[in-house]
Amino acid sequence: MSQKEQFLEVAKNEIGTIEGPKDNETKYGAFTKANFQPWCGSFVMWCAKQVNLKIPNVVGTSAGAEKFKGIGAWSSVETGKPKPGDLVFFDFAEGGNPIDHVGIVLKDNGDGTITTIEGNTSGNKKKSASERNGGEVAQKIRAYKKDNKKKLKVFVAGFGTPKFKD
């Protein structure tokens, strides 16, 4: 199995994991020493570590996106085509940082949407409406093109492509 496939498999195996018992308490946050903080980036960093994948630190999502841009591994929604294993950065426009969430691309659905795996988003077990601080690892369908067939609103800001060993 390639490093990319292993990375995706690790992320898939975490689907359904919820935080707690305290708010934002996770093994992912404990791993990055950012426990009790929003943990989408910590989830991505934890998954990468499990397969020895070196990626820029995305615990701070805006800073992580800037690091991908700085190493020439960034593509915007206008110019990029998401690939499995890419990191997907979101702007939910709820104030604060322009990029406020990160996840992992599982696949491009071919209709202007992608299937993602994200930590700390709304899911099936923990009934939170927050897409960027929902308390669960969940698989999601997200639009990256305005003319997507599912007519979903676009929150994707861009994609960071890790340098996989194989």
Residue 92: per-residue pLDDT: 86
To the nearest whole percent, how much of the chain has pLDDT over 70?
A: 93
Work out the burial of residue 109: count CB atoms within 10 Å of its CB; fewer than 13 is exposed, 13-18 middle, 19 or more buried.
middle
pLDDT band at 127; cut points 50, 70, 90: low
CA distances (Å), 94 to each of 31, 121, 130, 156, in order?
27, 14, 10, 14
Read off the tokens for 19: 């935080």
C-alpha span between 24 and 35 (Å, rounded):
7
Dist. CA 118–CA 6, nearest whole Å: 16
pLDDT band at 112 (very low <50, low <70, confident <90, very high): very high
Q: Is the pLDDT of residue 117 over 60?
A: yes
In this prediction, residues 30-42 reach a mean pLDDT of: 96
99 forms bridges with which residues in the sheet? none
Distance, in Å, from the CA atom of 123 to the CA atom of 62, rounded to the nearest integer, reads: 23
- CA-nearest of 108, 116, 127, 157 to 14 is 116
pLDDT at 122: 86
| pTM check: above 0.75 | yes
- The sheet with strand 156-160 has its strands ordered as 74-76, 156-160, 87-90, 101-108, 113-121, 136-143
The phi, psi pair for 13, rounded to 5°, reads -65, -15
Task: List, for residues 50-79, the tens digit of each pLDDT value.
Answer: 999 999 999 999 999 999 999 999 998 888
The domains found in the chain, sorted by start residue, are: 3-160 (3.90.1720.10)
pLDDT at residue 128 is higher than 70: no
Is residue 97 very low, low, confident or very high in pLDDT (cuts 50, 70, 90)?
Answer: low
Report whether the peptide linkage leading into residue 98 is cis, meaning its omega lies within 30 degrees of zero. Answer: no
Which alpha helices (H) appear in the chain, and where do they start and end? 3-13, 27-32, 40-50, 61-70
Q: Which residue has the higher pLDDT, 149 or 96?
A: 149
> Rounded to an integer, what distance in angstroms lies between the CA atom of residue 137 and that of residue 122?
8
Of the pLDDT bands very low, low, confident and very high (cuts 50, 70, 90), residue 162 is: very high
